[in-house]
Structure 1
Amino acid sequence: MTYRDNIDKLARRITDRIPAKVKKLSQTDPEYECLNEILNDEQCDLCLCFEVRKPLSFEEVVKRSGWPAGRVNRVLNEVCDIGMIEYNWENEDHHKQFVLPQFVPGAAEFMVMNKDLVEEHPIVVDFFEKMTRLPLEKVTPMVPPGGAGIGMHVIPVEKAIHANQQAVSVEKISHWLNKYDKYALSPCSCRRQQRVRGEGTGDVEADVCIAVGDMADYVVQANKGGHYCTYEEVIETLERCERKGYVHQITNIDGEDKIFAICNCAHGVCNALRTSQLFNTPNMSASAYRAHVDSEKCVACGKCVEICPVGAAKLGQKLCTKAGPVSYPKQELCDDVKWGPEKWNWNFRDTAKVNCYETGTSPCKSACPAHLPVQGYIKMAKEGRYLDALKLIKDFNPFPAVCGAICNRRCEQQCTRGLIDEPLAIDEIKKFIAEQELYEDKRYIPLCENVERKFSQIRWPLLVQVLLV
């Protein structure tokens, strides 16, 4: 196959991978291999008129290329559709300007957002995966908290920030939403990448990423699968993603005054979260906030353990032992020792989400066939929080009263209180909580979000048969 010098020049201009910057690329280098497949010479030559992330007006592109305006317009539309060139109106007189983005975050994601391009050239998903990983292999141990402008920045949910804390406004989602008046929901490049590569986790890829400002226009107009939405729809999306345990992150490459998207990232597929997990460098996806457990208030329900995307919390920290509290090892950090591939965790998808320490978790929860958080609802009942206890139970078991009537009380058989005098009457407590639903004002129906199909697509006759059985 003939080597294309123009592809080599363009790939080396854009890449952040140091070895690729300093020497000619081989035909198997990811930058060359991908661009060689998706770009023809005309498209590549037009992209070479740009410097990375330096906007040009249409007239400037015409002048630099030396081509007729009609030809420039046609090829610009082609490369914008592919994802190699983006556009915005961020200038004093608000004229349309075109930009050659970096690979990540930038062109590689835009390529994957183009569903037609992915189907025709599956190589782009592997290219995206490599461009989020290879440039960072050497630098991640040196990155300070917050990412230092590399990749993404985590922002907390505002309702989780206590009123007595002095939260910086740029750390809040509403700060960024209020800076812009246009929003668009678009597909997640990471989820699509992993699905096509056969490593997906089943997370729905559509309508998860939120483009703001001029980027909203780009993802809608340039065949990126986006559609405009309202502020209220953005908030609903963020709340839904929060309930699913996704991590809210913003783009972090334009300084403190500008973003172009808010991502809602899932642990098993997100390339941005993957960097900190794979390289064992938490600074790569750190926020300005840290979660702390109040041991006096914790009821060991396990909800934080199940929802934490990086396995920061684990069950087994409140077990009763004769020797007192159990101590657990802390994660080794790259700040303290020399860091290299021997410190990476290639199996992070399997190991980071282990729910329990080797010491195990509460015997009652483990013995329960429905794995109910027994410690949690008993403490809530003790405090008179019966509705909260009911909600906690029904998040795990939608029919607590029915199951309570036929329960074989395995939890009571394993209750450690029985080592002292008698086991707690766990089943009776659960029955009392379940009976609260007999009162209309205390009835609780869990939110069902697992069915992604539209209401009209449900096969109702089959559903009725299943319920009758």
Structure 2
Amino acid sequence: MSKPTAFPLDESRLPFEIPRDEPYREKIARLGQMITDRIPAKKGILTKDDPEYWGLASIVTDEMADVALKMKVRKPMTLPELVKATGKPAGELEPLLQQMAVVGLLEYNWENPRREKQYILPMFVPGSAEFFNMNKQQIADHPEVTAFFEWMTFLPLEHITAMVPPGGAGIGMHVIPVEKAIETENRSADIEHISHWLKKYDGKYAAGPCSCRMSRAAMGEGCGDDPDDWCIGVGDMADYLVETNKGHYVTYDEVMQILQKAEDNGFVHQITNIDGENKIFAICNCNVNVCNALRTSQLFNTPNMSRSAYVARVEPENCVACGRCVEYCPAGAVKLGQKLCTKDGPITYPRQELPDAVKWGPDKWAIDYRDKNRINCYDTGTAPCKTACPAHIAVQGYLKMAAQGRYRDALALIKKENPFPAVCGRICNRRCEDACTRGTVDQAVAIDAVKKFIAEQDLNAAHRYVPDVVQPSLQGPWPQKIAIIGGGPAGLSCAYFLAVQGYKPTV
């Protein structure tokens, strides 16, 4: 295999070098070939350039490889069975199996008729490539495991992702919607509810670090989240995380707090999808900016890979056209401007190409998907008033809320973008009114007057809107100290938005 060069496999972007100087180890190559589900690697002989080789070589000893080669991928074996298969005495083998589990090569299983401990050699993803990246010290000592994890989410799927049907077909992860969005749907399947899985594994939960957040940060591509405790192991996986020092037990209430915090941050709930409809082993709370599972659907532009069983729809009677759903959606599912009218009539936008009916290949991949998902409107823009506003405030939204008498909601919407509406509302140059298309009929809507009225509410303590702190961390306040030089509009705005994210800046 030649040295990878295409995104995301360009080694030059890594802040470390892939080690290839050590002598070639045949046992490691055989083990990598046995575990991988990448077809070219299955058919050929692994070289030092293959991630299956150097990813294992950095962590796995030859003695560990000897034992693992006596196993089959995802086929549980008890200690007596492994003693028989390897010829090693139990007193020597059991500590070795424990160490193999600690580094992440093996996992445990108790879900069997006799409820006895079994050892499993997992696949790479979801499996050992992730477990390798759940130990901060291991990442520090062997940073190449971070690239190993990322590449093993990419290489096996680059040729088949376009063929995956809705729901993932047992590959990788499955997105579960925010439960409160489907709680009134009588026809929703139990397995589509996180509560179903929490009840199934009642009392057996453990929180552990997010391998995606930790690994991508070590690669210089992090998202700023605190990685600890976002991933929840259930059942056997909970015990595995605790026994191998990758996590700690949590209560049902603590799990619900984690899930609520994830929803507050706009993270995506995902469950494992490789054991059929009656078993999962983890619930992840994923940030689309770094999640290797969500990346496959984003990068390859194949939404079926991460599609849930539900589709979000807008209720026109409740919509205030604020555009926040577009700006908040982590996957860039919709764009502003889709309903924009011009003097020539409504604009018709082409539907996004999908692999269902079009031949798919690298030319269809969204290589810069992380940047494209941040573009929230089409070239023709969105509502002219919102576009013209220097703060990009959702003008349509707060106007409609004000008309409905929802003054505090309108104030909250304004403060999403402008923390000081009472100031700006008085000195505004009213570009929004200049752009208002109502002016082409008679006269522009008195947007500034409405904003001044709404802003006045913030001067009254009884009506004032103070946003909740939404912090991408479960470990309490951020420890970093931030000093902001200058107390002008820019400095105070910076302090405001940092405070909303959980920091305690000093101006």
The TM-score normalised by the length of structure 1 is: 0.93
| CA distance in structure 2 between the aligned counterparts of 1:370 and 1:136, rounded to whole angstroms | 41
- Larger deviation: 314-323 or 139-148? 314-323
Match of 1:382 in 2: 403
Equivalence map 1:298-317=2 (5 Å): 298-317=319-338
Provide the secondary structure at the position in 2 that maps to 1:104. Answer: helix
Is residue 262 of structure 2 the alignment partner of residue 262 of structure 1? no
Q: Residue 135 of structure 1 aligns with which residue?
A: 156
What is the Cα deviation at residue 276 of structure 1?
A: 1.1
Deviation at 1:438, TM superposition (A): 5.5
Give the 3-state SS of the residue equivalent to 1:132 in structure 2.
helix
**Deviation, structure 1 residue 216:** 1.3
SS of equivalent residue, structure 1 residue 145: coil
Aligned to 2:59: 38
Give me the whole-angstrom Cα distance separating, in 1, the residues matched to 2:427 and 2:243. 58
Separation in 1, partners of 2:138, 2:477: 31
Given candidates 176, 183, 200, the residue that maps to 2:205 is 183
Residues 141 and 460 (structure 1), Cα distance of their counterparts in 2 relative to 1, 3 Å cut? closer
Structure 1 residues 451 and 281: alpha-carbon distance in aligned structure 2, compared to 1, 3 A threshold:
closer
Maintained 8 Å contact 1:56/1:98: yes
Identify which of 365, 368, 374 aligns with 1:344: 365
Q: Which residue of 2 aligns with 1:195?
A: 217
The answer for the alignment partner of 1:321 in structure 2 is 342
Which residue, out of 400, 403, 417, partners 2:438? 417
Deviation of residue 68 (structure 1)? Answer: 2.2
Deviations 1:206-231 (A, max 9, x none): 2211111121121122132x222221
Q: Is the 8 A contact 1:300 1:318 kept in 2?
A: no
Please point out which of 146, 159, 166 is paired with 2:180. 159
The alpha-carbon deviation at position 67 of structure 1 amounts to 1.4
CA distance in structure 2 between the partners assigned to 1:56 and 1:418 by the alignment: 75
1:376-455 → structure 2 map (5 Å cutoff): 376-437=397-458, 442-450=463-471, 454-455=476-477
Report how far residue 109 of structure 1 moved. Answer: 0.2
Q: Write the letter of the residue equivalent to 2:237.
A: M
1-side partners of 2:472 and 2:314: how far apart? Answer: 33
2:234 alignment counterpart: 212
Tell me, yes or no, if structure 1 residue 238 matches structure 2 residue 255: no
Q: Which residue of 2 aligns with 1:71?
A: 92
Letter in 2 for 1:408: N
Q: Is the 8 A contact 2:167 2:307 kept in 1?
A: yes
Q: Structure 1 stretch 429-438 or stretch 129-138: which is displaced more?
A: 429-438
Q: Distance in 2 between matches of 1:387 and 1:50?
A: 62
Within a 5 Å distance, the mapping from 1:4-43 to structure 2 comes to: 4-43=25-64
Query: 2: distance between equivalents of 1:456 and 1:260?
Result: 30
Using the TM superposition, give the Cα deviation of residue 55 of structure 1 relative to its aligned residue in structure 2, in angstroms: 1.1
Q: Give the SS at the match of 2:229.
A: coil
Give 2:126's match in structure 1, choosing from 105, 129, 132.
105
Determine helix, strand or coil for the equivalent of 1:136.
Answer: coil
> Which residue matches 1:87?
108
Structure 2 residue runs of 5 or longer lacking an equivalent are 1-21, 493-505
Distance 1:442 1:229 in 2: 38
One-letter identity of the residue aligned with 1:436: Q
Give 2:211's aligned amino acid.
S
Distance in 2 separating the partners of 1:26 and 1:441: 69
Question: Which residue identity does 2:274 align to in structure 1?
Answer: I
The match for 1:291 is: 312
Matches within 5 A, 1:343-382: 343-382=364-403
Q: Which moved more, 1:296-305 or 1:10-19?
A: 296-305
Q: Deviations over 1:445-468 (max 9, x none)?
A: 211124857459576998999879
Amino acid at match of 2:220: G
Aligned to 2:292: 271
For residues 280-336 of structure 1, what are the alpha-carbon distances to aligned partners after superposition, in whole Å with 9 as ceiling and x for unaligned? 211111111112234554332121111112211111124342333321111111110
Q: Do the aligned partners of 1:244 and 1:307 also contact (CA within 8 Å) in 2?
A: no
Q: What is the RMSD of the two structures over their aligned residues, measured on CA atoms?
A: 2.4
Q: Alpha-carbon deviations, 1:104-152, whole Å to 9, x = none?
A: 0000000011211111111111111111011112211221111100011
Q: Percent identity among equivalent residues? A: 59
2:150 pairs with 1:117 = no
CA distance in 1, matches of 2:91, 2:232: 33
Q: Contact 2:226/2:472 (CA < 8 Å) preserved in 1?
A: no
Deviation at residue 426 of structure 1 after TM alignment: 1.4
Cα distance, 1:172 vs structure 2: 1.2
Q: 3-state DSSP class of the match of 2:428?
A: coil
Give me the whole-angstrom Cα distance separating, in 1, the residues matched to 2:229 and 2:54. Answer: 30
- Code of the residue aligned with 1:354 in structure 2: it is I
Conserved 8 A contact 2:422-2:459: no
**Matched letter for residue 209 of structure 1:** C
Q: How much does 1:353 deviate?
A: 3.0
Question: Paired residue for 2:195, among 157, 174, 193?
Answer: 174
Q: Is the 8 A contact 2:422 2:458 kept in 1?
A: no
Unaligned runs of at least 5 residues, structure 1: none
Return the TM-score normalized by structure 2: 0.87
Q: 1:454 to 1:240 in 2, by over 3 A?
A: closer
Aligned partners of 1:300 and 1:315 also within 8 Å: no
**Are the structure 2 counterparts of residues 457 and 340 from structure 1 closer, same or farther at C-alpha, using a change threshold of 3 Å?**
closer
CA contact (8 A) 1:58 1:97 kept: yes
Q: Deviation at 1:35? A: 1.4
Aligned partners of 1:310 and 1:353 also within 8 Å: no
Conservation of the 8 A alpha-carbon contact between 1:152 and 1:249: yes
Offset of 1:13 from its aligned partner?
1.2
Question: 1: distance between equivalents of 2:251 and 2:166?
Answer: 33
- In structure 2, the residue corresponding to 1:215 is in which secondary structure? helix
Distance of aligned partners of 1:464 and 1:57 in 2 relative to their CA distance in 1, 3 Å threshold: farther
* Structure ranking higher in helix proportion: 1
**8 Å CA contact retained: 1:279, 1:345:** yes
Distance in structure 2 (CA, Å) of the matches to 1:365 and 1:287: 32
Q: Is the 8 A contact 1:112 1:118 kept in 2?
A: yes
Measured at CA, do residues 257 and 441 of structure 1 come closer, stay the same or move farther in structure 2, by a change above 3 Å?
farther
Amino acid at match of 2:332: G
